[in-house]
Amino acid sequence: MGKYVDLRIVTVYGGKGFSDQKKKLEAGCDIVVATPAQAMELYLSGHLILKKIKHFVMDEAERLMDFGFTGQIYSLLEVLPRKRQNMLFSATFSERVKKYRMTLWSFLFLLMLFRRLKQQQKLNSIYIP
């Protein structure tokens, strides 16, 4: 992702030793991509500083809830700065996701790129430069 831009990106996820991830965080970074549980663990251990977060992006919100991350997401949101931009992305937008977004964000803008497709319809890929 950041190959051609001057951004330092660190990925944080379970199943991998934390020592390499901690070293990268300590060296500084512009973007952290993390699972909610790992982000909280690194925050609580003092390796992930969240007080300067300006943007919070949650991708595949419904899948995160399916995997049981809802409580961890709420815990993470409690320690993030109040003044930040929030972005929630989900390929599906079930009632559960709608309820979830309403409890977290007061000023909302909903952008639906495609109407719900019937199973037999195919979606062609598009590229927006």
Q: Examine residue 117 and state whether it is found in any structural domain, yes or no.
A: no
Q: Examine residue 79 and state whether it is found in any structural domain, yes or no.
A: yes
DSSP-derived pairing of the beta strands 55-58 and 85-88: parallel
Going by C-alpha positions, the residue among 94, 95, 97, 77 that lies closest to residue 86 is 77
How many distinct structural domains can be found in the chain?
Answer: 1
Domain that holds residue 17: 9-104
Domain CATH number, residue 37: 3.40.50.300
Q: Examine residue 19 and state whether it is found in any structural domain, yes or no.
A: yes
- Distance (Å, rounded) from C-alpha 28 to C-alpha 9? 9
Q: Examine residue 122 and state whether it is found in any structural domain, yes or no.
A: no
Q: Examine residue 66 and state whether it is found in any structural domain, yes or no.
A: yes
Per-residue pLDDT of the chain (129 residues; tens, 9 = 90+): 557 788 888 888 877 677 888 888 899 989 899 888 888 888 998 998 889 888 888 887 777 777 787 788 888 888 888 888 877 777 776 777 677 666 666 655 666 665 555 555 554 555 554
